[in-house]
Amino acid sequence: MKARTRIKFELDDCKKIFKFNLIGISYKHIDSQIEKIIETKRQKYEDRLRYLTWDVYFLD
């Protein structure tokens, strides 16, 4: 089973939203991929990160 994931970040100062689309990743590996992206952005923008969200859609 494959997954499509959207990850959104919003920063306080510039209201910039980062969107990541991860498509076709096996659902077994999706958590590690999400964690890797979130951790990278959290370290880079930790003072300004307002919120982040993600959705996972499983594809047939």
The pLDDT tens digits along the chain (60 residues) read: 666 777 777 777 665 556 666 666 666 677 787 788 778 877 877 777 766 677 776 665
The domain total for the chain is 1
Range of the domain at 47: 2-59
pLDDT in the model for residue 2: 66
- To the nearest 10°, the Cα dihedral for 15, 38, 24, 58? -90
pLDDT in the model for residue 42: 77
